[in-house]
Chain A
C-alpha cells in the first residue's frame, strides 16, 4: 500500500518547508486557491469518503457543508490537535515530524468553508509539537501560503497556533471551542451545533489532525483515488498507534478494512515473550475491550469494529497479554476518566468518581459481591444522559471490562486479591 499519511515520516528534516515542498508540498493548496471553488472542494472531499479521524468518524465533506454560506458572521476553521485519548499517539507523530501536512490540510479546509481565520488547538503538554507547528506556520507565512491575498487570489487567511492547558475534555470539539474562547473547557449544549454556532457564536468546523493531513493527498491525487482504497463505507487509510504487550509498537498506516488479527500478528509481530493475547482495545481507552476470540473476523474499519461491539475510535490500539490484571486495567482507565471529567453535568461528574472508587476497592481487596452489578448500573445511568460523549467514554470501558472478564472480577472479589498476578 502506498503510504499517504506517513509518506514524509522518516525523511530527514521532514518538518522543514524546503523538504516538504521538494516532496510536492503545498502543490495541493495552490491548486485549491487558484482553480477550485469552495463548493467544488466540498464535493471533492465528500466524494473521497473521508471520515473524521478523531474518533467519531463523521463524513468530513458533509460536516463542511453544514456551514451556512449566506451567514454574515466570520467562519472559523479549527484543527483539533488535542490528542489525549489513552493509547493514541498518531497525531503526535504527524505534529512533530510532518507539521506542514497539518498546516496545509488546515488551510485547505479553511478555504472550503471560506474561513479567514484558522486555529490549530494543540494539547498544552505537547511543547515540542507546538514548536514544530509554530515554526511550520511561520515558514508558511514567509512563503506567502498564509496571509493576505494568497497566490494573488484575493483570499486572506490567518493561522494561529493555540496551546491548551491540560484537559482531555478539550479534545471534545465544543469544549475545545470554549477553551479557545478563553473560557473554561466545558462542552457546549447542542443544539445549536458548531457549524452554525461555534467559536464566539460563529459558524465553525473542527477537524482532527489526521483528517486534515489527508487533504493534500486527496486534492493532489483526486477523490476517486482515495475512495479506491478501503471498504464501501470506510474509505481511504487510517493511522493506528499500537502499544502495550506487542512486539513492534508504533504508528502504522493501513488501508481501511485490513484484518485486525493479521495486523497484530504479522505487521506488529504479535504478543512477545511467548505470552497469549488476553484482550485488545481497538480505538483508544474509551472503547470497549475485545477478547481474542472476538477479533477473529474483525477488520479495521468503522462498520466491522462496531459490529463486534466496540468502535474504531481514534485507532489507539492497546494490547494486553495474559499477565494483565483486567481489574487493575479497568481501574486505571476509570481513574483517568474520574480525573478528566470536567464536572459540568451530574451523571458524569458524580458517576465517574463513584465508578473509580468501586474499582479501587475491588482492586485493593475490599470489593463487595454487589459491586459489579452496581458499576454496570452506574455505567448504564451515565450512557446517553450527558452533555457530551465523555460520559459514554467513561461508561463503556467500565462495563466492557466487567462483562468480558466477569470471572476474573468475581475471583478478585472473592479472593480479595488479584488472581492473575498473584
Chain B
C-alpha cells in the first residue's frame, strides 16, 4: 500500500496510490458530486459533474479519471468548480422532463439533490424539450423512461461488465442519444434490477415498487436477505408495517453493491398472505383457535408420547432460534432426528455471480447450532416419507409445497400420530397439524445468520409481528420451560452470548461487535469486520 500525500481544499490528506480523486476526497469526507462514475464499473467520464481544479493544470479535470499523485493540490470548492457544476446541471436539465410529481426517484434523485446543492437557478431554456419513449418495459422488473435519462451509461456498463449479458446499448446521436435493448433482448438477467439502484435518476425504475410509496416515508432497517445462503446485505424498507422493497447494502466481503432479482423480491412470497394470529388445536371437525397455554400443553403431551420424533427447522431461522430449537427438541427426545431445511438447485453462470444453490440463508448456522442429523436433510425427508417417524415438529417450511413429491409427503404427514407446525401462515403442511403455533417471519426478527462462507451477520427487525403471533425463540423458550429446562435468556444478544460460550466455532465472538457488515467465523476476538 503506497501512501500518497495530496492537498484537498487546503487540507493535507494521506491516501493510497491508485486512488482516483473522488475516492481520495471521500476518505476525508469531501464529497465530489458525480453521476457516471461507479466504483465497480469502468470509467466513462461523460457526465462532467466531477470536474475539479488541479493546481498547475490549466483545464479542469474530471476527478473520477485522475489518479492521485504526490503533492497534488485539488480544489473542489473554487469559483471555477462551483460554476462548472452549475453549468453541467443546467445542461442536464434543459431536456429533462421534471417528472418529479410522478417519478419514483423523487427523494433519492441525484438531479434533485445536486440541483439543490449546486444550482438552484431558474431555467434559461425556452425551447421545446427533446421527447423520448416513456414507461418502456425493458424487462420483468425494470421500466425505462428515455426523457429522464442523463445518458450516464451506468446501466449499459453494468450489463457489459458485471453480468456480461449485454442487453443494453446507447443508440442514436447527439441529443437524441438514448438507451435501448439490443434486438430481441429482454433485460431479464438474474441481476437485472441492480440497474435501478445504480441509475442516478428516474430513468430506470423498479416495476414492483412503482408508485407504491414515496421514499421519504420508508423506514429503513439494515438486515440480511433471506433468499439464500449467500447472505447479501440489504436494507429492508417498510411503510405502515409492510415491506415496500429491499435495497442492497454495500458489503465488499459478501455482495458488493448488488443483490439478485430473486432475493430482491423474495419478501413477497415470504410475507404475503393471511397471517396466523392464534394458536390452533385439532378437534372434531378441524383446527380451532385456542390459548397458548392450552396449545403448548398439547405439544408437551403429544411430543412426550410419540417417538421417534423428526424435527425440521427452516433455513430462515436465526442462529439464536436454532440454538434454542436444538435444546428444546433434545429435551423431548434425545434421539430425535433434527435438521435444517436444505434443497439445492442448478444455477446458471450469471446466477452464480451472487446466488447460492439453496433457499436456506442460515443452513450453516443452524447446523453449527446442533440442528443437524447424520444423514442430512434429504435423508431425513426420505425417512419421513417412508414412515419412519411417529411425530414431527416443523418450523417455518411447507414440506408439501417444497418439491415435486408433495403428495407422497402429504400422505406421510397424515399418517403421523402427532404433528406440530410453527409458521406464519396456514400452509398445506399446517393444515395437517395437530397443533399450529403462530410465529414471526425474518422481517420481524432480530438475530444472526451465518452465511455459506461462514460470515456471521446481523438481522434487525423491520416490522412488528401481528398481535397473537410470537417470536420463534419465545415459543422455544416457553416449551423449554414447560419441559423442565427453563433458560434465562431475555434477548437475542443473551442467546448469542451462550452460543459464543457453548459452540466451538463461535468462541470469542461478541454480539454487539458483529456490526453492520458482519464477522467471519474464526476471527478470534470477534471484532467487527
A189 contacts B84, C-beta separation under 8 Å: no
Q: Mark A324-344, 1 if CB is under 8 A from B, else 0.
A: 000000000000001111111
Who on chain A is nearest to B49 by CB? A346
A351 within 8 A of B: yes
A196 within 8 A of B: no
Give Cα A381–Cα B82 distance, bound, in whole angstroms: 12
For chain B, the count of residues having a C-beta within 8 Å of the partner chain is: 35
Stretch at the interface among B172-180, B218-226, B242-250: B172-180
A387 contacts B94, C-beta separation under 8 Å: no
B88 contacts A347, C-beta separation under 8 Å: yes
Stretch at the interface among A80-88, A156-164, A244-252, A352-360: A352-360
A354 contacts B65, C-beta separation under 8 Å: no
B92 contacts A350, C-beta separation under 8 Å: yes
Question: Taking A184-B170, A347-B48 as contacts, is the C-beta distance between A384 and B59 under 8 angstroms?
Answer: yes
A419 within 8 A of B: no
Write out the residue numbers on chain A whose beta carbons fall within 8 Å of the beta carbon of B88. Answer: 346-347, 385
B125 within 8 A of A: yes
B455 within 8 A of A: no
Give Cα A386–Cα B49 distance, bound, in whole angstroms: 11
B48 contacts A353, C-beta separation under 8 Å: no
Q: Which residues of chain B from 50 to 76 have any CB-CB distance to chain A below 8 Å in the complex?
A: 51, 59-60, 62, 65
What is the minimal beta-carbon distance from B351 to any residue of chain A, in angstroms?
Answer: 28
A347 contacts B65, C-beta separation under 8 Å: no
* Residue from the list B46, B125, B173 in contact with A354, Cβ < 8 A: B125
Give Cα A189–Cα B170 distance, bound, in whole angstroms: 17
Q: Which of B90, B95, B125 has the most CB of A within 10 A?
A: B90
What is the minimal beta-carbon distance from B54 to any residue of chain A, in angstroms?
Answer: 13
Question: Taking A167-B173, A343-B176 as contacts, is the C-beta distance between A350 and B94 under 8 angstroms?
Answer: yes
What is the minimal beta-carbon distance from A262 to any residue of chain B, in angstroms?
Answer: 35
Q: Which residues of chain A from 349 to 385 have any CB-CB distance to chain B below 8 Å in the complex?
A: 349-354, 357, 368, 374, 381, 384-385
Q: Mark B23-61, 1 if CB is under 8 A from A, else 0.
A: 000000000000000000001111111010000000110
Give Cα A357–Cα B174 distance, bound, in whole angstroms: 14
Who on chain B is nearest to A184 by CB? B170
Question: Taking A184-B170, A191-B65, A350-B94 as contacts, is the C-beta distance between A344 and B87 under 8 angstroms?
Answer: no
Q: Mark B154-172, 1 if CB is under 8 A from A, else 0.
A: 0000000000000001101
What is the minimal beta-carbon distance from B153 to any residue of chain A, in angstroms?
Answer: 8
Give Cα A345–Cα B48 distance, bound, in whole angstroms: 7
Write out the residue numbers on chain A whose beta carbons fall within 8 Å of the beta carbon of B170. Answer: 184, 343
Question: Taking A350-B94, A384-B59 as contacts, is the C-beta distance between A189 and B43 under 8 angstroms?
Answer: yes
A346 contacts B92, C-beta separation under 8 Å: yes
B84 contacts A343, C-beta separation under 8 Å: no
Give Cα A386–Cα B88 distance, bound, in whole angstroms: 10
Who on chain A is nearest to B128 by CB? A357
Q: Which of B44, B88, B92, B174 has the most CB of A within 10 A?
A: B174
Q: Mark B74-104, 1 if CB is under 8 A from A, else 0.
A: 0000000000100110111011000000000
* Residue from the list B59, B65, B91, B125 in contact with A346, Cβ < 8 A: B91
What is the minimal beta-carbon distance from A411 to any residue of chain B, in angstroms?
Answer: 22
Who on chain B is nearest to A386 by CB? B48
Question: Taking A345-B47, A346-B47, A346-B92 as contacts, is the C-beta distance between A338 and B174 under 8 angstroms?
Answer: yes
Give Cα A351–Cα B94 distance, bound, in whole angstroms: 9
Write out the residue numbers on chain B whose beta carbons fall within 8 Å of the beta carbon of A385. Answer: 48, 51, 60, 84, 87-88
Q: Which of B65, B88, B173 has the most CB of A within 10 A?
A: B173
Write out the residue numbers on chain B whose beta carbons fall within 8 Å of the beta carbon of A347. Answer: 48, 87-88, 91
Give Cα A181–Cα B173 distance, bound, in whole angstroms: 18
B125 contacts A387, C-beta separation under 8 Å: no
Question: Taking A191-B65, A381-B91 as contacts, is the C-beta distance between A346 and B46 under 8 angstroms?
Answer: yes
A341 contacts B91, C-beta separation under 8 Å: no
Q: Which residues of chain B from 80 to 137 have any CB-CB distance to chain A below 8 Å in the complex?
A: 84, 87-88, 90-92, 94-95, 124-127, 130
Give Cα A357–Cα B125 distance, bound, in whole angstroms: 10
What is the minimal beta-carbon distance from A200 to any residue of chain B, in angstroms?
Answer: 15
B151 within 8 A of A: yes
Give Cα A350–Cα B170 distance, bound, in whole angstroms: 16
Write out the residue numbers on chain B whose beta carbons fall within 8 Å of the beta carbon of A340. Answer: 173-174
What is the minimal beta-carbon distance from B345 to any residue of chain A, in angstroms?
Answer: 37
Give Cα A384–Cα B90 distance, bound, in whole angstroms: 16
Question: Main SS of chain B's interface residues?
Answer: loop
Give Cα A388–Cα B503 distance, bound, in whole angstroms: 62
What is the minimal beta-carbon distance from A184 to any residue of chain B, in angstroms?
Answer: 7
* Residue from the list B45, B92, B126, B130 in contact with A387, Cβ < 8 A: B45
A341 contacts B173, C-beta separation under 8 Å: yes
Who on chain A is nearest to B169 by CB? A184
B456 within 8 A of A: no
Give Cα A336–Cα B45 distance, bound, in whole angstroms: 24
Who on chain A is nearest to B127 by CB? A357
A381 contacts B87, C-beta separation under 8 Å: yes
Who on chain B is nearest to A352 by CB? B174
Who on chain B is nearest to A185 by CB? B173
Give Cα A268–Cα B322 distance, bound, in whole angstroms: 94
B150 within 8 A of A: yes
What is the minimal beta-carbon distance from B161 to any residue of chain A, in angstroms?
Answer: 14
B174 contacts A342, C-beta separation under 8 Å: yes
Who on chain A is nearest to B86 by CB? A381
What is the minimal beta-carbon distance from B441 to any residue of chain A, in angstroms?
Answer: 45
Write out the residue numbers on chain B whose beta carbons fall within 8 Å of the beta carbon of A384. Answer: 59-60
Question: Taking A184-B170, A357-B127 as contacts, is the C-beta distance between A343 and B94 under 8 angstroms?
Answer: no
B46 contacts A387, C-beta separation under 8 Å: yes
Who on chain A is nearest to B153 by CB? A344
Give Cα A268–Cα B122 distance, bound, in whole angstroms: 51
A349 contacts B65, C-beta separation under 8 Å: no
Give Cα A345–Cα B24 distance, bound, in whole angstroms: 24
What is the minimal beta-carbon distance from B172 to any residue of chain A, in angstroms?
Answer: 7
Who on chain A is nearest to B45 by CB? A189
Write out the residue numbers on chain A whose beta carbons fall within 8 Å of the beta carbon of B130. Answer: 353
* Residue from the list A189, A339, A342, A351 in contact with B91, Cβ < 8 A: A351
* Residue from the list A189, A339, A374, A386 in contact with B124, Cβ < 8 A: A374
What is the minimal beta-carbon distance from A132 to any residue of chain B, in angstroms?
Answer: 29
Write out the residue numbers on chain B whose beta carbons fall within 8 Å of the beta carbon of A368. Answer: 126
A354 contacts B94, C-beta separation under 8 Å: yes
Question: Taking A343-B151, A374-B124, A385-B88 as contacts, is the C-beta distance between A350 and B95 under 8 angstroms?
Answer: yes
Write out the residue numbers on chain B whose beta carbons fall within 8 Å of the beta carbon of A354. Answer: 91, 94, 125, 127
What is the minimal beta-carbon distance from B488 to any residue of chain A, in angstroms?
Answer: 63
* Residue from the list B125, B127, B177 in contact with A343, Cβ < 8 A: B177
* Residue from the list A189, A341, A374, A381 in contact with B175, Cβ < 8 A: A341
Give Cα A350–Cα B88 distance, bound, in whole angstroms: 9
Give Cα A211–Cα B87 distance, bound, in whole angstroms: 38
A189 contacts B65, C-beta separation under 8 Å: yes
Give Cα A387–Cα B88 distance, bound, in whole angstroms: 13
What is the minimal beta-carbon distance from B48 to any residue of chain A, in angstroms?
Answer: 5
Q: List 17 A-B contacts (CB under 8 A).
A: A184-B170, A341-B173, A341-B174, A342-B177, A343-B172, A343-B175, A345-B48, A346-B91, A346-B92, A346-B150, A347-B88, A350-B91, A351-B91, A357-B127, A385-B48, A385-B60, A387-B45
> Can you add 10 more A-B contacts, CB < 8 Å, to A349-B175, A353-B174?
A189-B45, A343-B170, A343-B175, A344-B151, A345-B48, A346-B150, A347-B87, A349-B177, A350-B175, A385-B48
Residues of B within 8 A of A (CB): 43-49, 51, 59-60, 62, 65, 84, 87-88, 90-92, 94-95, 124-127, 130, 150-151, 169-170, 172-177
Residues of A within 8 A of B (CB): 167, 184, 189, 191, 338-347, 349-354, 357, 368, 374, 381, 384-387
- Closest 5 CB pairs between A and B? A343-B177, A189-B45, A381-B87, A350-B91, A341-B174
